[in-house]
Amino acid sequence: MFRNNETDAAIRSAESDGKQRAKLHDKQSERDYRDLRIDKVGVRGMRFPIQVRDKARSLQNTIATIGMYVDLPKEFKGTHMSRFIEVLHAHGSVVHVENITDILYAMQEKLRAATAHLEMEFPFFLVKKAPVSGRESVMDYTARFEATARGKEIDFVLTVQTPVTTLCPCSKAIARHGAHNQRGIVTVQIRSRRAIWIEDLISVIESSASSELYSLLKRQDEKAVTERAYENPVFVEDLVRNVALKLNTHPDVTWYKVEAENYESIHNHNAYASIENG
């Protein structure tokens, strides 16, 4: 067979690459003798495009900050971090949230793990109309999916963070003019028998506060929002109880945790309350 210098060089290069690969040691697969199992090991802080369904537009494109983890048996020194990224990219350049279960199972298989965890936190956007002028604006909220596969069993927790306005009942009761109010953040985590729309959870939260928030308000809208809050004062305790009462009546919610934090306008500290059920 005829071979030229370029062919010989290519053969030598391939042989060298093969030898080099053969020399690479798999340090992660070495045995560990400390006899300690690790519950979660993996990667976090990855930003990746995702698509999530919404009630208005069917699909919403956004960016998620992602964490991926598996358990590590006590006999293994480390996990293979690159395999997490391979699993994520194997599902395309955009992750569809309907694929969460598939991603978890793929992590279990590729990393030979009994349990797999996937976290996705992302901004979720709603178009809202101002209460009087009807002017439209976009409001952003924070949503989070936390999913765990133990064998074939899937545990899924939806978290939604929603900003609201609260007006202090005590301030209204004792002041001759006005009452102090503040912006608060309500964080609701739920487990449910079937999927619940993020928008519906936002609605539960906003309807439990003194008033909901808007990105765009004209003067007549500002007047309406201010008066609505004044007519509906709530403590931080009222806020979490109001949300909890609504979740208690939801037929699909099996567990919830409600947290509220008010960024006080006349104190140098925040007010906080939490309630959990299920």
Question: Does residue 80 contact residue 74 with C-beta atoms inside 8 Å?
Answer: no
Looking at the fold, whether 68 and 198 belong to one and the same domain comes out as: no
Query: In DSSP terms, which residues pair with 149 in a beta bridge?
Result: 116, 154
Looking at the fold, whether 87 and 192 belong to one and the same domain comes out as: no
Looking at the fold, whether 71 and 147 belong to one and the same domain comes out as: no
Domain count, the chain: 2
Write the pLDDT tens digit of every residue in 117-173. Answer: 999 999 999 999 999 999 999 999 999 999 999 999 999 999 999 999 999 999 999
What pLDDT sits at residue 278? Answer: 84
Range of the domain at 265: 130-278
The answer to whether residue 12 is domain-embedded is no
pLDDT confidence bin for 14, thresholds 50/70/90: low
Looking at the fold, whether 88 and 191 belong to one and the same domain comes out as: no
- State which of 70, 93, 121 marks the end of a domain: 121
- State which of 121, 151, 171 marks the end of a domain: 121
- State which of 60, 95, 121 marks the end of a domain: 121
Write the pLDDT tens digit of every residue in 206-217. Answer: 999 999 999 999
Looking at the fold, whether 146 and 274 belong to one and the same domain comes out as: yes
- Across the range 189-205, mean pLDDT stands at 96
Tell me the whole-structure pTM to 2 decimals: 0.85
Question: Does residue 192 contact residue 268 with C-beta atoms inside 8 Å?
Answer: no
Helix (H, G, I), strand (E, B) or coil at 224: helix
Write out the E strands in the chain.
38-52, 60-72, 95-96, 115-129, 136-150, 153-167, 181-192, 211-212, 253-262, 271-277
What pLDDT sits at residue 1? Answer: 46
The answer to whether residue 21 is domain-embedded is no
Looking at the fold, whether 141 and 229 belong to one and the same domain comes out as: yes
User: Residue 7: which residues within 8 A CB-CB, separation 6 or more?
Assistant: none
The answer to whether residue 73 is domain-embedded is yes
More confidently predicted of 270 and 2: 270
Distance CA 206, CA 243 (A): 9
Looking at the fold, whether 140 and 114 belong to one and the same domain comes out as: no
